[in-house]
Structures are given as structure tokens and as C-alpha cells.
Chain A
């Protein structure tokens, strides 16, 4: 290839005993879209973080446009023409778009910021690349898609010639993803080179020129996108056969949970429910598709007993329950929250206290005193049965890896405090983004647990941004947008395009 714009040579990075990147060498050509593919935990984000200067590699060198790039210095990377659109928001909500874009672009000691020139430049850049934004809008008001445009503009404003995007489609509807891909192709036509991180095989094949596959920190293959089959990529990405989850045939049962014209008046736009009605039946997986921030959090909070509905009724097993997590748990709700580190587990407390945290009064305490021996025995059995690996039940839960923490949370929810596996069946399972950030093995395990519990007779509500997951598991699908829910229809009656339109709030059939 003619002189590559980027050359990474032998990049190695360790975090404690974990080798995140192992002697990775890559090149990027001018005008090329290179996809960096791998399952969660393969080392993709670490690699680009090293490239951009957030981390310093333990070994290896980086060259940008023929010159060595000083390690650990984002300012140097930016000056060399490398820009990055991060996975999590790097925009300040309380400031304007222009503020966010101009940050760091002027010498710190300049007595007055040149805002007029900055605004003109932003508008020109925005027009040139077809990314419309309002420079004076407060970021808090922007939609997710608009925020992503601002992040891309931040890099283009600084004359980036290499653009790194870290899982950009995780928060987009299918239509928005298409728009993004069109934008990216336009950028390449203009001479930019792009590194695109993803774990979604379809997108990678559709948008990239080459695919570099990372597995457990090593670069295992670099393949051209055209001519490579999806199954080949899947095999290379995961490296070992992961049997797909098996759904046992079973009958659908009665309705166990009903939400009727539920309204939740949240403080922020993304925390509102606007006249939502839904019924969940035992033996059935109902999935809620939608981009995060459209009210899913409020729905999950109501069904987990954390928040009360401001209007409308919510009934579980025919009874209206108060907004008390303990009541919902006692009524048979198995809850798997979206945020395992900050909501599902209390990191500073030991594993055994986390194992009983939902049931610390009943049955694991009597007369106000915790039954330590019983609780610890239960925790040991739980970790055994659900294969939770760590430094023991007395180690702080925060030290568990993501996968093990999720196993603890799923195990705790599904076992219901009972000593034996077959003694308890939840009435309702509420699973919110249950496989976010998990590797393929853990992901398959969670899916199998959900399918098994459903087959035994539980009603399962699955809230997910991952359409692949929804299409693989759901019996019925409803789509959430701006606090409203479409009616739930059989999964087979939805096309991908339908779902995408509903996620964006358009579509032939609106909420009745």
C-alpha cells in the first residue's frame, strides 16, 4: 500500500494481570475505512485510546503521516490530525455546541476568545460535510444523533485527517446508522481515513473496506470486507464455537403483569412515560426496542419498584404494588438492572452482602439481626451454581469483572433467595440491557438463562438497544420512542425497517 497515514507497531498494554493489547500491529491507508472488530473485552477501545493518547502503551510505537506520535498526549494526537468520537459522551450538557467545539482550540492565555471566527468556521465545516447543527444550542437539548454529529464536527473543526469512531451505532436507530455511513463515505471521498470500532458483523461488512479482528488482545486477522462471509468473521472474532442458545418449546400462560395508561412525569425528557399500556404473559419474552433515553429507564424503574407511576395502574399478579423494591421482589420480580456497577451491586460491600441485598430483611434477617451464617452459605451456593469467579464471598463486589458481576446479579434475581435451583420461579423477569459490555460467552449464558426461565413459566420483559439480541430472543416486540410505546406485536410481524422507523418515532402504526 502507498504510504499509510497511520502505522501501529507492536502495541502492548497491560492492566494489572490483564493483557488488553498484545503486540498489535496495524496500518491505515489514506481514504480507507478500517473496521476494528471484536467482542466486548477484546481490546478495541484500549487500542484506540492508546492511539489517541488517553493511555500510554507498555511497548510499541505509533506513526501518523510518517512522523512518530508522542505517546500519552491527546493534544499531540489532535495536532497530528487524529480525531476521536468516543463511545460515551464527551460533551458538557450545560454549555453550548460552539463552546464544546471551540474548547482546546485556542491558546489558553489568549485574553479574548475569537468566537465570531469560531462560529463562522463551525458553520462552514458543518455545511461542507453535511452535518447540520445549531452552534448556540445547549447540548442538553440535543438528541443522541445530533450529539454524535457535534462530536464528529469537533474533530473535523480541528482538521482531523484520521477519524476514530468508537461503537458509533450503539445509540442510533437503523436509519440514523445509514445516515452515518453515508456521512463516513463522504468523508473518505474527501481524503479522510476512518477507523470504525464495532462488534456488529453486518455493519462492519457493509461500511468498511478492511476488517481487523481482535481477540483477547491479539490481532488475529485482517480481511478485506468484500468477499468475506459473515460466518467467517464470526468464527474469527470469537475463536471458539459458542453454541447458540436453545429455546425449549413451551406453552404461553396467563397475563401476569399489566400496565394500563401509565404516566411518569420525569425531570428530564428521557425519563418520562406518556400513556404506556403493556401486558406481559408467563412463558413469553416481550422485548422493548428503542434507543436509550426514550423512557425505557422509567418503565424499568416502575417494574422494579423504584418509582411509582404518576397516573394509570400497574398490577403484578393482579395486585397493585407500592413503589417499594422489597414488595416487588417479594411478589416474585427478578430484576436485572441496566447498570451493574452502580445500581445492581454495591461495589464497596462484600459479595455475600450483595448476594442477599434484595432480601436482607426476609428471609436473611430475623428481629433486625442479619442471619450471617445462612446468608454466607447462600452466597457460596449462589456463586457456585452460577459460576461467579472472583476472590471469594468476602471480597468487595466492585472487584468482580463485568461478566462475573452480571452472573451474580442474574443468579441473585433468578434464585429468589432459595437454596435449591428448582425451588423458585420468578413471576416476572425484568432484564434491562442485560448483555451490555459482556463477551460472547457471557452473553450466550445470559440469553440461555432468560430462555430457560421463560420456558419454566416466567414472564420476561427484555429492554435492549441491541436489535440482534431482540430478534434472537423475543416472542413479541414493542418499540419505545419519546415516552410512548407501540403496541406489542409478534416478533415475526416486524421487519427491521419497521422497527427502525418506530424507533425514530415515525411509522405506519402509532400507539393507539
Chain B
């Protein structure tokens, strides 16, 4: 076992796999992070990732380029995000229930649309996904697709926006004290909904990565709980983009590891036990950081304009 572990750690393929597994998590976690920094919990992520995976893939299957597919997925995420935003911000409905409703709605619409578009197929049709880039010359990175590099680049970009720009300050403020933002002349509803739409677009892209890069087709159950893991990772990351990247990489590391160890182990431990490991670790991580979590103060509190 130890030999297998050591061999795994020096294997470039292993680290490529880690990055590949981490990519949808990075997009998803950054998306949830934007929503929660603005004060809104978005449990629609699981459904939005499914919908983004489907529409991105469908666009490419219909003849669009891969990048157009990514944009379509982002747009799909944005639309569902807008719905969640309208329900939770101006209408101030329960953020938990709205999010769960959106997950159910988005995934059922995606499944329905798939069946309507392809009524009689048994194996899902495939597309030509993003290829590995081989342009950078760096061993692990050049085995990645462009979306992975975008995901990594987004981390410092979003950190910059949140901490160094007036827009980011506005987003942080509506998540801490919306009355303060209103008192400084900002439109709290617009900023919150905007953050949710942007975050949901990222979630959609995270889903599209699965169908346009990691695999080449759309399967039911392909998201498989990744959205929920992103929600856990945001708490683990204390709502900071840098730690979100770290969390996603850690999780991907364990996920890739259990795959390799399973193969090395050859049957002594049932494969399901290995598959359980990432979910168990997520729960443990959540409990470990919960005590010290410094929430955005207005998270999950509905904002009623002018109520004082």
C-alpha cells in the first residue's frame, strides 16, 4: 500500500487527474462563494450544474463551437440564478427551499429536455471535447484543458474583485449589513441578484466542464453530489477564494487517490468504501472548521427594504 502511495505521488498522470477532478469544484465553489458573500445561500447549485452540463453539451452537439457551448452553459446558470435571485431577494422567500426547488426544477428540466431531444437513444451521443493543450510546456499543466486554466486564473481574479474594487466592496457589504449599503446609496437588490447571477453562471460552467472536457457526453447522475460538496467547501474555505482553491484541490487529491488505491488494492476493501471517502472527509472538514467560521453577517437573513 505504501509503495502504491509513493508511486502515485510522483506520477504526473496522478496530478493531472487531480486538477481535472478539481476543476468543476473550483467553478462551483467560487460560484457559491459569490452568492454567499452577498448574503444568499444558493442550494440550486446541484441542479444548475446538471443544467449547465446538458445545455453546453447540447449546443455543441447541435453544431456550435466548444466555447459557444461554454457560454450557453454560463447563460443557463445565469437564468436559473436569476430565478433564485428573484425568489430570495425582492420576494424574500426561504433561501433553503428556493434553492432546493431550483435544483429539482433545473435537473428535471434538463432530463426532460434530453429525452425530448433524443427520444430513442440508448447510449448518449458523443461530441468532440476540449483537447489537452500541450502549449505551456509545464508537465502537469499542459495535460489540462483550457477550462482548467481558466478556473485557476479565476481564483486570484475573484479575490481581486472582492477585495480591491468598489464592486467587490459593495458585494461584501450587502452580505454583511445591507442597511449600511442602502444608507450609502447602493441598490441592495441589484447587487445581490447580480452576485447570484454571476455565481450561478460559474456553476453552469462547472457543469459544462463535465460534458465538454472531462467526458464527452451527457449522462444522468453525472454531477453526483459535486454541487453539495461545493457548498461544504465554501464553509471550509472561510468564504475566501484562495482557500476555496485549496479546498477543491484537497478534495480532488483524495478523490483521485481513492481511485488509484482501489486499483492497487485489488479487492481487499470494497470499492464503495473508497468512494465514500470524499464524502466522509467533507463532513469531517465541515465539523472541524465550523467553530471558527466567520460568516458573512447577513447570510441567510432576508432583506426587507426600508425596514427599520
Residues of A within 8 A of B (CB): 45, 49, 54-55, 73-79, 84, 86-95, 99-100, 102-113, 154
Contact = CB atoms under 8 A, between A and B. Distances in A.
Given A45-B308, A93-B297, A94-B294, A103 B165 contact: no
Nearest to B161: A111
Contacts of A111: 165
A91 B177 contact: yes
A74 B305 CA distance: 12
Contacts of A93: 176-177, 297
From B172, B176, B294, B297, residue with most partner A Cβ within 10 Å: B176
A217 B169 CA distance: 38
Interface in B144-203: 164-167, 169-170, 172-173, 176-177, 179-186
Contact of B182 (A54, A87, A106): A54
A84 B183 contact: yes
Contacts of A79: 185
Contacts of A87: 308
A92 B173 contact: yes
B306 interface: yes
A333 B294 CA distance: 36
Where chain A touches its partner, the secondary structure class is loop
B167 A109 contact: yes
Nearest to B180: A90
B164 A113 contact: yes
B182 A103 contact: no
Contact of B173 (A54, A73, A103): A103
A103 B180 contact: yes
Instruction: Sort chain B's interface into a size bin.
Output: 20 to 34
A91 B186 CA distance: 14
A113 B166 contact: yes
B107 to A, nearest CB: 32
A74 B177 CA distance: 16
A454 B233 CA distance: 56
A90 B306 contact: no
Interface string B206-243: 00000000000000000000000000000000000000
A139 B177 CA distance: 12
A89 B177 contact: yes
A73 B184 CA distance: 10
Nearest to A84: B183
B177 A49 contact: no
Contact of B164 (A75, A78, A112): A112
Contacts of A103: 166, 169-170, 173, 180-181, 184, 186
Given A103-B186, A106-B166, 6 more contacts: A74-B185, A94-B297, A100-B173, A104-B185, A105-B166, A113-B165
B185 A54 contact: no
Given A45-B308, A93-B297, A94-B176, A112 B165 contact: yes
A452 B173 CA distance: 48
Given A86-B308, A95-B172, A108 B182 contact: no
B164 A104 contact: no
Contacts of A77: 185
Contacts of B179: 86, 88-90
B165 A110 contact: yes
Contacts of B182: 54, 74, 90
Contacts of A74: 182-185
Contacts of A76: 185
A110 B172 contact: no
16 contacts: A73-B185, A74-B184, A74-B185, A86-B183, A88-B179, A88-B308, A89-B180, A90-B177, A90-B183, A91-B180, A92-B173, A95-B176, A100-B180, A103-B180, A109-B166, A111-B165
Contacts of B180: 89-92, 100, 103
B166 A55 contact: no
Given A49-B306, A75-B185, A103-B170, A92 B177 contact: yes
A95 to B, nearest CB: 6
A78 B294 contact: no
Contacts of B186: 75, 103-104
Nearest to A154: B184
Q: Which 7 A-B pairs have the closest CB atoms?
A: A75-B185, A104-B184, A92-B176, A106-B166, A90-B180, A90-B183, A92-B177
Contacts of B177: 89-93
A94 B294 CA distance: 9
A111 B296 CA distance: 23
B165 A104 contact: no
Nearest to A53: B185
A343 B183 CA distance: 27
Contact of B169 (A73, A99, A107, A109): A99
Nearest to A109: B167
